[in-house]
Every structure is written in C-alpha cells, then in structure tokens.
Structure 1
Amino acid sequence: MRFSTSTGLMWRGILAIVIGIVAVAWPGITIGAFVLMFAVYAFLNAGMELALMTASRRAGPVVGRLLLAVINIAAGVLAIVWPGLTALVLVIMVAVWAFIAGIAEVVLAFGRGETAGQRAMLALTGLVSLAFAVVLAFRPDVGAVVLAQVFGLFSIVSGISALVAAANLHTHGGQPHTSSPAQAH
C-alpha cells in the first residue's frame, strides 16, 4: 500500500489534532509523556555512548563516553523515579530560555537600522517573553500545565493546517496550489 502526500498529511493532521486535544484536556498526561520521552531519550543516548565507546581505540574517549553513558542512565532513572522534579527542571529551563530571549529581544529593539514598527514588535515580544519567564519562575506548577496546554493548542493548529494542505493537494491532483500574478489576470 502506497500513501500519497495528501494521505500522509491527512493522517499527520488527524494525529496532531488528537494529541492536541489530549494535551489541552489532560495536561498532566502530557507532562508525564514529556518526562517519559526524556527518560527514553536519556537511555537511548546512553546506549549510543556505550556503542561509540566500544569503537574507540584510545582510553580517553572510552572513559569520557563511559562517563556520558552513566550520566545519561542516571538522568533517565531520575526522570522515572522523580517525574515531578524532572517536570520542574524542564519548566525552569524554559523559564531561563524565555528570560534570556526576552532580554535579547528588548536589547535588539534599541539596535540600529530597525524601523519603529520592528522596534515595537521586538520590544513587545521581549516583554512578553520576560513576563512568561517570571510566571514560570514563580509558579512552575502552573507553568508546566500552561506549557502542556500551549503545546496542545499548537498541535491542534498544526493539525488543522496539515488537513487543509492535504485537502488542497487532493483537490489539485497532488500538486500544491499556488497562485501567481499571471494566473490572477
């Protein structure tokens, strides 16, 4: 069975919408899934480090890769044993990222060569990022739920976009529909 691009987009859109609805309706499940995905990633990364370690011919890389594998295994175990702490660390990392990004955007707003509109947008975006960082820092419990729900909303919008693209491809015989100025006249 061969899937067309439009069929693939349709299924991707449906999956994204379902995941989005679950994330919005049950953010706790989504947070748990993020923690579990991190644990799986850590274990897979540990396995890769061990595989790369066996391919090394020198002692230095072997010791370094073994240390990285042990750290990854420990991180995976900690994520499973203390999922709440892992979710808290994830929220704090996002808060730090939002704070740094917010500062950078506010600083860029005062840079040379920007139009007044660009400056206003950079400043506004920076201030929103800073406010988001403050909320996450002072209320990480609420921040985790908000992150899960924002992810859910993003998934729903992304899924709808994929369904629209699939319908567009299906309607136009598998070719993306684009209009050019020549076609408009």
Structure 2
Amino acid sequence: MSLARNWWAFLLRGLMALLFGVIALLLPGPTLVSLALLLAAYLLVDGTFALIAGVRAIAKHQRWGHFILEGVAGLVAGVLAIMMPGATILALILIMAFWAILTGVLELMAARRVGPGGGRAWLLVGGVLSIILGVLMVVVPPAGGYAIVFLVGTYAFAWGILLVAWGFQLRHLHIRLERSSEVGALGSTRPASS
C-alpha cells in the first residue's frame, strides 16, 4: 500500500500545518500581507507534497487523481497569494475559501477510495472541516485580520493534528506490512525438510 509506504509525507504535511497554525495563533499582530506570505509558503509546501504523493501513486499504478488535483490547487492558491500581497481582505478570504472548499471536496472523494484501515476517518473529518471553514469565510467574512488569523491558525492546527495522527497510523500499518512480508520471505526461503 503506497499510502503506508509514504507515511512520512503525511507526517511532514501535518507538522508544517501545526507550525503554521502555532505561528498564526501566537503572533496575531502581523498584517494580512504577512499572513498571505505565510499562507503562500504553506500552500506551496502542502501542494508539493500532495503532488509527490500523486506521482508516487502514478508510478505504482494506483489512484492518483485526487492527490494531483489537491497539489495543483495548493500550488495555484500559493502563487496567487504571493502575486497579490496587497489584495483586499475579501480577495484573500475568497482565495483561502476556494482552497479550503476544494481541498475538502477532494479529501472526501479520496475517503471513498481509502479502505477502513487506511485512514478513511481522518480524510472524512479533514474534508468536512475544510468545507466548513471555506463556507464560513464566504458566507460570513471575518471583520478583520485578527479573525482571519484566528480562523486560519485554528484550522491549520486542527488539520495538522489530523495529518500527524494519520501519518503515525500509516507508519504503524507500514511496519506491520513490512513485518508480514519479511515473515513471508523467510518462510519461502526455508529449505524443504526431507
């Protein structure tokens, strides 16, 4: 299972999300321009790791579309955040809302294809959280930069926890799979008894 083999990518994505969330929550004073640049960096890293997961899935002849779409969405949102640092608060909210909703939909789609032991629950929770955040940003735009920092920081922190937990779950699955393949390999190399 390639997801289990690439557990480290989910763990890194989670740690990046946690780091971004902590910075956003502890330092609410920076302007939205600073938040846009931090968000752009996170989106670019997250999109890159999603693309890596997609390319690895392609190489293994497994389902890859949702990873590639998530990666491209993250990269496009990151580039837009870099190119428009002086954009209005509403424009930044809409970019983040689009990314959150699209990511949430893609994660829900991915959850349909992942087996029960492969982290389906984490994808479902993460997808629903992403969609809720995106819809809230569109329907009730936050009054100011602090509200955006709080919303995005809280979301990134919660998403980071989910990704880290999923990464560890996949790591345990990977170890189990390696052990079972080692036991199988040992059993097949034993000399036949006479």
* TM more than 0.5: no
* TM-score relative to the length of structure 2: 0.38
* TM-score relative to the length of structure 1: 0.40
Q: Whose radius of gyration is greater, 1 or 2?
A: 1
